[in-house]
Structure 1
């Protein structure tokens, strides 16, 4: 979801009463008709097209679109989107990540199997559509280390096929497919190359959770460190690229400050020079020149996302886009000559669209709308809020109301409505302002939807992020409860009609809410959430080795008795006997982060105590649900579950189970119509 500025538009209008003035004054307020029920497939099925990216020569546009029901890569001549032809023909998994090779003759993409996150690199020839697997290894996940227009037929990749913990750096010849070892990795978490694809910096994790930045010497090995990133800064600091000049690196850093700023790091002396800063929020991303890598702009996202120029290179372009986009915008690609950019524009109450921006002509041309079936539908506005926590922190949050519920436009429904607290994953991530499919789905069904950036979320300064250390199930959860209290106090929702819903960490928050504050929630939906923090940390992917000290520091250390005790106490599984409200659990069997055992064990514990639970399992999914049939089937189950609990509207299941791998090992009886839908599935 793009997070940027858009003034929320109230969709509902008040109705004028006819007749005498005094009669109108005493007449009861008219209740607006509910918005048209939006089909789940229009919200969660395959988009029509998405992900526009321009070729280096500016002559072609690549994008993702369905081919035989699966998202594949298509290419069209510039200005002729409807003449697009498919390049790839994946039959199983949607392609989600692709990019042009610098020479423009190939498109490269990453693909896993069944959600296992063993992403391998493929290349497809643009002229012939011949697809080749470029990294033919088992139990390997590829990292992209370096790409440069200066070296068009080569990229640097990291492969963990030798040692699953560490990625060795290889040079990949895109013409021949030959892989050449550049650096054998025995303990580094990441690497940065210059525009000639020469390795310049290596990041080494430290035992305390910090990071050491070591420059490569002429012998091709890392040397004496030029910078140490403290553990408290590790989540908010890191190298952000090396420009063509090659003697500096861009550094995002919170050293000696709260909000992340951008510095130039001298690769010889290690000295830093401030380039850009904000007192509102962390600098979250930078825009660099496609050829030189020079810093041109940066973005700051507090309540809403904004881009700010550095110097004059793109200042006029940013001013133009801020004026003309009429919503938030993000650049998805730039031609090599930098005249043509592709953008995605998000106007919240319209489906996102991709546009072509011509810098010389100062013109915007729509390429396509991502979900044209949503055009003309009544979509819910989003409000950006600052909610106070009980200890004085500010919780940046986002609220959507059912269309028509706020007739007078004061940001509150005319009467309280059921609410879904939608908790983001990570937890070292954030919610932002913009079109959100789940917000639109839930609001359309009659619910208020509240997303909260609780402490531990990123983007709001290291103090806010670090305030979540070892606070799973404590002050991080208090923030969620404080946001619910705010919603009740402000007439958004009644106390007894709040559901908690989320994936990954949001799934953990759901399980914690159901076990430790069961009186606050009418029901809960947990998607791939951990139930046992000890087993979670014992089973993370091996290639997370560089990040493990941060996990131990911020969640709890399973290698110490004190840490194990903390993790046990903060595990929802420990408190399973307190569950008293309906719970829906959904899991991908191939999830490498939150293993299936996390859901299995809490379902088993609930069964042993005769506590009802509905468990939905997808054997061909991982940490989330990628196949559209699986997505729509899950949302059909969740919709029926929430309707039974909160009383919102429900679209009939219809054909939403067809083609899905959905299994319900436990509790199909607890969601009205679920058994019948399973029996009718084709």
Structure 2
């Protein structure tokens, strides 16, 4: 072997070692150095959340010109989000109480910020949920929604940023949501009808916009959105003169359209764009549907199938997006924020190979300037690639999914005489040389979806040697109303079959080792994990449930009061109402709690004690049933968390628990973990890891057959 070959061999070995090095959990799950990044309306400052010297998430502000950052809040509890106002020295921030989602809002003057200054509370009552309902970044006032009278409905107030005066505009005992125009005048509101339709009402001619009630005399019907159209129908923005309004429109189209009509007269709809491959993307974190901040022209939008696809609506931004695309070829530029004059954009790039990296883009100079990375410690790490693909469910329903392989996995080389489908999948990079241990990671919602992009969770699992399958089962959003509505009434049935069919696909094509497949998820994904280990225990080697409902009856009985405005839609998703005996029987048949005796594989459950959406009882009643049946389970409770784990020490501990669990079940790589390692609040209430009971339970090998059960099993 020559010198050149030796050098090449050594380089390959060193590269493989670098790729295979365990990434510490600290690098993946500690608080991001930069999050909730926002550009001030004048374009001169950037606000962001970052951990302080005590690890508490506080607000920092960075000068755009001088690049100097300073801490402006010094709180002892994490801050959840921030928002600029029209006044350059005034910022708003949100906090809740240990994950209860009852957000409090505070106003802070940046010029007076110090460890000794006190913010002005806009709404700070414990147990009351508030949010900013209108902020045009132009006026010295905002609209604030507060459910301080009736927890089901939010009153609307006007808050003066100069005088700190809070004035009631609408006392609300009826509407689930209200909508204001560019001048912060309330213009219309929505109410759910008994049949699940969503009815929009506009102000009547006699209504006093500064002293509104929900009386029918103040409102007149504007339009009715039928239940089947609700997944793809929502208002977007008023035009600059407040006379016309943009909507995402589901009627007459599966994927939806962007339309505009004279406000109050939907019969004048003008179609601006019809979606072709996926729904027009809307996301609170990104300006996917870009509307000019002052002239209110629709400029661009994205459709998001496997990856985001940009569509230009107005030629004034074409050169901007062409430039930004060339800055990082192959990655998708997305706008996070912009100055009111629209000359400066805060952008990031959607990609799977690095965490969020932030840039400022100066339109006049046509120049993008790198700011910072969300997790700079991950730079240089070899991360996963996320591959989107399609497959058919057992009933031929077309499904979209993503597969992420471990960075060290060798890809399969197929011959030209192989099956055409196998060749196509191999060319996509979907097929490993050998079957992998795999985690089926189920998204929550369920009216949500997996999307292409970076995820600390997927980076962690693939780094530990697991392939990760993410199926957008029927009921997921983003792929049209037919796709979303196909999940109605299919919790624990066809929605779950889609997941099992995804597993079978992975086994069939040699992606996954049939005996080493875990199911894992949070919220609805946690429910799916419990369904997987009770309804189809032969498919999975183990399950990880985070905050998943186990009993759909008690879940419906304890939803947050402010969800009641969408109760009919929720029961449509579930397929039944708890208020009838027939409905309760149906919900019982889909609830893992009543099939706990089928658990034969390792299970870990993690839960926040203050979860407002899926109450602690959803986990504890399932655990209690398993304990009664003498079935081992590990149950970890976090007293200071809600629906998911926001505190970094708790997120790190969660990852530690799950990593150790998966290591023992699937034998992946493992960074050692102990309970007190991160100073988390976690309390282990039951621990199957210290018992030998699993050895006496059945260890059925997962099969490739369609796993189902009949009504006789219920």
Q: Give the TM-score normalised by the residue count of structure 2.
A: 0.88
Q: Give deviations 1:122-155, integer Å, cap 9, x for gaps.
A: 112121124222113232111322111342x101
* Residue 71 (1) aligns with residue 57 (2): yes
Q: Give deviations 1:578-606, integer Å, cap 9, x for gaps.
A: 00000000000000000000000000000
Give me the whole-angstrom Cα distance separating, in 2, the residues matched to 1:338 and 1:485. 49
Give me the whole-angstrom Cα distance separating, in 2, the residues matched to 1:341 and 1:96. 23
> Conserved in 1, the CA contact under 8 Å of 2:301 and 2:312?
yes
Partner of 1:142: 130
Give me the whole-angstrom Cα distance separating, in 2, the residues matched to 1:416 and 1:173. 62
Name whichever of 274-283 and 581-590 sits farther off.
274-283
Give me the whole-angstrom Cα distance separating, in 2, the residues matched to 1:196 and 1:441. 46
Give me the whole-angstrom Cα distance separating, in 2, the residues matched to 1:357 and 1:399. 33
Partner of 2:245: 249
2:293 corresponds, among 290, 294, 305, to 290
Partner of 2:706: none
CA pair 331-290 structure 1, distance change in 2 beyond 3 A: same
Partner of 1:223: 219
> Conserved in 1, the CA contact under 8 Å of 2:102 and 2:130?
yes
Task: State how 1:97-496 maps to structure 2 within 5 Å.
Answer: 97-129=81-113, 130=117, 131-151=119-139, 153-218=140-205, 219-220=207-208, 222-271=218-267, 272-285=269-282, 286-326=289-329, 327-407=331-411, 410=426, 411=429, 412-496=431-515
Give me the whole-angstrom Cα distance separating, in 2, the residues matched to 1:213 and 1:74. 40
| C-alpha RMSD over aligned residues | 2.1
> Conserved in 2, the CA contact under 8 Å of 1:589 and 1:595?
yes
Runs (4+) of structure 1 exceeding 6 A deviation are 16-19
> Conserved in 1, the CA contact under 8 Å of 2:84 and 2:137?
no
Post-superposition offset of 1:551: 0.7
Partner of 1:3: none
1:59 corresponds, among 44, 58, 62, to 44
1:628 corresponds, among 622, 625, 648, to 648
Q: Give deviations 1:396-427, integer Å, cap 9, x for gaps.
A: 11111111212468422211110000000000
* Residue 545 (1) aligns with residue 564 (2): yes
Give me the whole-angstrom Cα distance separating, in 2, the residues matched to 1:466 and 1:664. 39
Partner of 1:12: none
> Conserved in 1, the CA contact under 8 Å of 2:355 and 2:455?
no
CA pair 553-347 structure 1, distance change in 2 beyond 3 A: closer
> Conserved in 1, the CA contact under 8 Å of 2:412 and 2:434?
no
Partner of 1:675: none
Give me the whole-angstrom Cα distance separating, in 1, the residues matched to 2:497 and 2:523. 18
* Residue 47 (1) aligns with residue 43 (2): no
1:519 corresponds, among 538, 548, 558, to 538
Post-superposition offset of 1:103: 2.1
Partner of 1:639: 659
Please give the secondary structure, in 2, of the residue aligned with 1:313.
Answer: helix
Post-superposition offset of 1:107: 1.3
> Conserved in 1, the CA contact under 8 Å of 2:204 and 2:220?
no
Post-superposition offset of 1:31: 12
Give me the whole-angstrom Cα distance separating, in 1, the residues matched to 2:691 and 2:235. 49
Give me the whole-angstrom Cα distance separating, in 2, the residues matched to 1:362 and 1:30. 40
> Conserved in 1, the CA contact under 8 Å of 2:99 and 2:610?
yes
CA pair 193-30 structure 1, distance change in 2 beyond 3 A: closer
1:619 corresponds, among 639, 644, 647, to 639
Give me the whole-angstrom Cα distance separating, in 2, the residues matched to 1:670 and 1:329. 48
2:66 corresponds, among 80, 83, 90, to 80
> Conserved in 2, the CA contact under 8 Å of 1:632 and 1:656?
no
> Conserved in 2, the CA contact under 8 Å of 1:150 and 1:291?
no
CA pair 18-148 structure 1, distance change in 2 beyond 3 A: closer
> Conserved in 2, the CA contact under 8 Å of 1:150 and 1:195?
no
List alignment gaps of at least 5 residues for structure 2. Answer: 213-217, 283-288, 414-425, 693-714
Partner of 1:679: none
Post-superposition offset of 1:30: 13
> Conserved in 1, the CA contact under 8 Å of 2:49 and 2:81?
no
CA pair 456-17 structure 1, distance change in 2 beyond 3 A: farther
Post-superposition offset of 1:490: 1.0
Post-superposition offset of 1:32: 5.3
Post-superposition offset of 1:312: 2.1
Give me the whole-angstrom Cα distance separating, in 2, the residues matched to 1:624 and 1:77. 33
Give me the whole-angstrom Cα distance separating, in 2, the residues matched to 1:617 and 1:57. 45
Please give the secondary structure, in 2, of the residue aligned with 1:308.
Answer: strand
CA pair 258-607 structure 1, distance change in 2 beyond 3 A: same
CA pair 17-421 structure 1, distance change in 2 beyond 3 A: farther
Post-superposition offset of 1:549: 0.8
Post-superposition offset of 1:659: 2.0
> Conserved in 2, the CA contact under 8 Å of 1:146 and 1:197?
yes
Q: Give deviations 1:626-667, integer Å, cap 9, x for gaps.
A: 000000011001000000000000001268733200100111
Please give the secondary structure, in 1, of the residue aligned with 2:391.
Answer: strand
Give me the whole-angstrom Cα distance separating, in 1, the residues matched to 2:478 and 2:355. 25
